Amino acid sequence: MTIDTDAAEQTAPPRSGFLSGAFDSDVHPNFRNGIRDLAPYVESTAMRKRMGLLDAPPGSAARVMRGDNVVQVPGAEMRLPGVNYTNPGGTMRLDAMPPDGGPPGSDPRFVVTDHLDRHDLGGALLIGGSVLGLGGIPEPEMAAAVASAHNLWLEDVWCREDPRFRIALVVPPQDPALAVAEVHRWGRNASVAAVYIPGTDNGMAFGHRHYHPIYEAALEYGLPVVTHPGGESSGTNSAMIAVGKPEYYLEFHTSIPQVYMRHLISLVVSGVFERFPTLRFGLIEAGWAWLPHVLWRLDKDWKGLRDECPWLRRPPSEYVLDHVRFTTQPIYEPPDPADLGTMMRLARADRCVMFSSDYPHWDADAPQMAYRRVPREMRRSLTHDLPSEFFRLS
């Protein structure tokens, strides 16, 4: 985590330099009023009722019928799943709180001034902070309704504020048919930059054929697919960690990259990139320093076991470098700053790692400070070239 809390930095005008025009691959918009922010965007009255989003007058003590109207108990709104572990310091940066005191990341105008303009960024991918646990909703239809409403909310509230905001279109992983319908609904919308599949504990990693229809739909519109932590231990999901159930937030949060190592290996070994040779897949906020170990071991084992997976025509590492992208945050801060460059070269970061900040989360990186240690020859690739190619930015 690299945070800049200096007052002068907070009020400084945009700086030109290597970040000018960069694309941030991970920014989290949050609700201001909880799930009630979605009420205008849930298209089915029956679903609004089930979510507890019908209007209720102050002081009503029960949900009753009055004529043809339903009176809603205040506070009876559906609660979206979130991680079931508690960070004692909270999960948001206090310096990202809007001037009026709303939740961090809830005011698009403030995010523009505090993040995009302050760092002279060219754009940002919006991965909804309130729907990271969507895969933990047990009912597919409910998950699909939340996803659809959230996508409408992003377009109406965020993209109208600034066209530099681009949508990671959230889809329900519980039901591929419902996910595909959402992709077709939005696929030609210029605000959409990626299809976002939240994590779900369905026993199937992303190489499983369960997800193939979503990949096909994304490819129809030339969109990449991304995923992001947040489904782990949310709602009905387990922690999805390899061994045992973590007891502390510290061990849970530190173990999250295990999940994405598994997804990566599944995508490659299952032959997803042979079946879909133009698919682009992003593991956002999943780490990247583990790549050398995983790719070296995967290539080594493939040489001796290639008869088991005859559809793999190349070493696994080549599929990863051609098709998969990772993101920088949280930037690694080794005791010897020079070691960061060594780690990035071993991971071939100039070919597969994109700039991200994770704004406004507790471990977000302040871009100007975090990138001071990145080798100069890699900066342009991470901040501009790879995101532009991956998200097909224009």
Strands 64-66 and 23-27: unpaired
Span of 9-13, 37-41, 106-110, 308-312 with lowest mean pLDDT: 9-13
pLDDT-derived band at 69 (thresholds 50, 70, 90) equals low
Token pair 């043809």 is at which residue?
A: 68
Per-residue pLDDT at 2: 54
Contact 28, 105 (CB under 8 A): yes
How many Cα atoms within 13 Å fall on the side-chain side of residue 237? 32
pLDDT-derived band at 373 (thresholds 50, 70, 90) equals confident
CB atoms within 10 A of CB 388: 17
φ, ψ (nearest 5 deg) of residue 149: -65, -40
Q: The whole model's pTM is what?
A: 0.92
The pLDDT tens digits of the residues spanning 112-158 come to 999 999 999 999 999 999 999 999 999 999 999 999 999 999 999 99
Tell me the Ramachandran region of residue 62: left when phi exceeds 0, alpha when psi lies from -120 to 50, beta otherwise.
beta
The pLDDT tens digits of the residues spanning 250-272 come to 999 999 999 999 999 999 999 99
Asked whether residue 318 carries a pLDDT value surpassing 90, the answer given is yes
User: What does the alpha-carbon distance between residue 202 and residue 212 come to, in Å, rounded to a whole number?
Assistant: 15
Contact 122, 385 (CB under 8 A): no
User: What does the alpha-carbon distance between residue 355 and residue 24 come to, in Å, rounded to a whole number?
Assistant: 6
Per-residue pLDDT at 6: 44
Task: Kindly give, in sequence order, each residue whose CB lies less than 8 Å from that of residue 29, ignoring residues fewer than 6 positions away.
Answer: 105, 106, 108, 111, 126, 128, 129, 154, 157, 158
Asked whether residue 321 carries a pLDDT value surpassing 70, the answer given is yes
Share of the chain above pLDDT 70, in %: 91
| Alpha-carbon distances, residue 145 vs 42, 43, 76, 228, 372 (angstroms) | 7, 8, 18, 20, 43
User: What does the alpha-carbon distance between residue 64 and residue 74 come to, in Å, rounded to a whole number?
Assistant: 12
73 or 365, higher pLDDT = 365
Asked whether residue 5 carries a pLDDT value surpassing 50, the answer given is no
Identify which of 302, 305, 327 has the alpha carbon closest to the alpha carbon of residue 317: 302
Segment 296-301 shows an average pLDDT of 98
Contact 304, 260 (CB under 8 A): no
Token pair 């290639």 is at which residue?
A: 306
φ, ψ (nearest 5 deg) of residue 282: -115, 125
The pLDDT tens digits of the residues spanning 273-284 come to 999 999 999 999
User: What does the alpha-carbon distance between residue 122 and residue 24 come to, in Å, rounded to a whole number?
Assistant: 8
pLDDT-derived band at 57 (thresholds 50, 70, 90) equals very low
The pLDDT tens digits of the residues spanning 162-220 come to 999 999 999 999 999 999 999 999 999 999 999 999 999 999 999 999 999 999 999 99
The pLDDT tens digits of the residues spanning 206-250 come to 999 999 999 999 999 999 999 999 999 999 889 898 888 999 999
Per-residue pLDDT at 371: 84
Asked whether residue 67 carries a pLDDT value surpassing 80, the answer given is no
Span of 45-59, 150-164, 217-231, 309-323 with lowest mean pLDDT: 45-59
Asked whether residue 366 carries a pLDDT value surpassing 90, the answer given is no
Token pair 């290996």 is at which residue?
A: 265
Contact 135, 107 (CB under 8 A): no
Asked whether residue 36 carries a pLDDT value surpassing 70, the answer given is yes
pLDDT-derived band at 72 (thresholds 50, 70, 90) equals low
pLDDT-derived band at 62 (thresholds 50, 70, 90) equals very low
When the pLDDT of each residue in the chain is averaged and rounded to a whole number, the result is: 91
One-letter identity of residue 370: A
User: What does the alpha-carbon distance between residue 181 and residue 325 come to, in Å, rounded to a whole number?
Assistant: 25
pLDDT-derived band at 108 (thresholds 50, 70, 90) equals very high
What does the radius of gyration of the chain's CA atoms come to, in whole angstroms? 21
| Alpha-carbon distances, residue 287 vs 85, 117, 259, 267, 327 (angstroms) | 20, 26, 11, 17, 7
